[in-house]
């Protein structure tokens, strides 16, 4: 799709900014340089879409700040063809970044309106992403195990159900915490029974992960 040249320039500036903030993964930076984030924000706000800020989407939800998308994606350490489960489709932007990295992506959203809109974006931009309306607390048993699981809403703790759906050798990244601050947490499944946990030092503010459908 043709787009005004200005957006490519703004994306390159954003990539430079993310590099300055410590994002190193070239594949992640290339994906951000390519995906038209301005198509995911409300009309009239397109030129602001490449500032490093979260943005309102429908249903009182937000598209994550580019730095957060870049960091979560970098921490996930995806390889081409990895089967990835994203919880919290929202605008669909993060799912498309993961698809750009060559992963096989499954994404779940609990709000029907966002689910429909995100599907529209996947079709418009021609990404083959398996998207589901559902409660992310349940994961997606039918397609498990996943090599990677990415949670993009604040979760108080990771339910065993989701940990069970992680492949041995796989990794889950999630902002964990109650209230309005979360710690970015990395859980590696190192064997059938063993998981190791590590943290990224920065504090985040995600919208909460809620139970049930809307």
| Cβ 191 to ligand SAH shortest distance, Å | 28
Q: Does residue 135 bind ligand SAH (CB under 6 A)?
A: yes
35 neighbors 96 (Cβ within 8 angstroms): yes
Q: Does residue 68 bind ligand SAH (CB under 6 A)?
A: no
Number of residues that make up the chain: 214
Nearer to ligand SAH, 61 or 104 (CB): 61
Beta strand ranges found along the chain (DSSP E): 55-56, 62-63, 83-87, 104-109, 130-133, 146-151, 166-176, 182-189, 195-204
**Positions 149 through 178 that interact with ligand SAH (CB under 6 A):** 152-153
Helices (H), 39-168: 66-76, 93-100, 112-124, 160-164
Q: Does residue 209 bind ligand SAH (CB under 6 A)?
A: yes
Candidate segments 7-15, 28-36, 85-93, 173-181, binder of ligand SAH by CB under 6 A: 85-93
Candidate segments 24-32, 45-53, 59-67, 162-170, binder of ligand SAH by CB under 6 A: 59-67
Nearer to ligand SAH, 50 or 93 (CB): 93
List 87's β-bridge partners, or say none.
Answer: 108, 151
The site for ligand SAH, by CB under 6 A, has a size of 24
Q: Which two tokens stand for residue 57?
A: 């989407």
Query: Is 64 an annotated catalytic residue?
Result: yes
Show the binding pattern over residues 11-50: x = contacts ligand SAH (CB under 6 A), - = does not: ----------------------------------------
Q: Write the DSSP string, 12-24.
A: HHHHHHHHHTT--
Give the whole-angstrom CA distance, residue 20 versus residue 5.
23
Q: Does residue 137 bind ligand SAH (CB under 6 A)?
A: yes
Nearer to ligand SAH, 104 or 131 (CB): 131
Half-sphere exposure of 173 (CA within 13 A, CB side): 20
Give the whole-angstrom CA distance, residue 59 versus residue 131.
18
* Among 12, 17, 51, 62, contact with ligand SAH (rule: CB under 6 A): 62
Half-sphere exposure of 166 (CA within 13 A, CB side): 29
Q: Does residue 100 bind ligand SAH (CB under 6 A)?
A: no
The residues assigned a catalytic role are 64
> Which chain residues interact with ligand SAH by CB under 6 A?
61-64, 87-88, 90-91, 93-94, 108-111, 114, 135-137, 152-153, 207, 209-211
């Amino acid at each position: 799709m043709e787009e005004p040249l200005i957006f490519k320039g703004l994306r390159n500036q954003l990539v430079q900014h993310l590099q300055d903030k410590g994002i190193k993964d070239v594949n992640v930076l290339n994906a951000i340089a390519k995906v038209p984030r301005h198509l995911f924000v409300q009309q009239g706000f397109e030129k602001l879409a490449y500032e490093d800020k979260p943005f309102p989407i429908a249903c009182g939800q937000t598209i994550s700040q580019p730095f957060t998308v870049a960091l979560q994606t970098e921490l996930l350490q995806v390889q081409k063809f990895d089967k990835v489960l994203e919880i919290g489709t929202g605008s669909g932007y993060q799912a498309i970044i993961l698809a750009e990295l060559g992963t096989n992506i499954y994404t779940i959203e609990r709000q029907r309106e966002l689910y429909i809109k995100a599907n529209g974006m996947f079709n418009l931009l021609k990404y083959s992403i398996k998207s589901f309306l559902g409660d992310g607390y349940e994961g997606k048993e039918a397609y498990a195990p996943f090599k990677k699981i990415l949670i993009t809403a604040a979760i108080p703790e990771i339910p065993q159900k989701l940990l069970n759906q992680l492949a041995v050798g796989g990794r889950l990244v999630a902002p964990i915490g109650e209230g309005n601050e979360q710690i970015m947490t990395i859980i590696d499944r190192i064997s059938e029974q063993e998981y190791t946990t590590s943290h990224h030092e920065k504090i985040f503010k995600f919208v909460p992960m809620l139970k049930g459908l809307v």
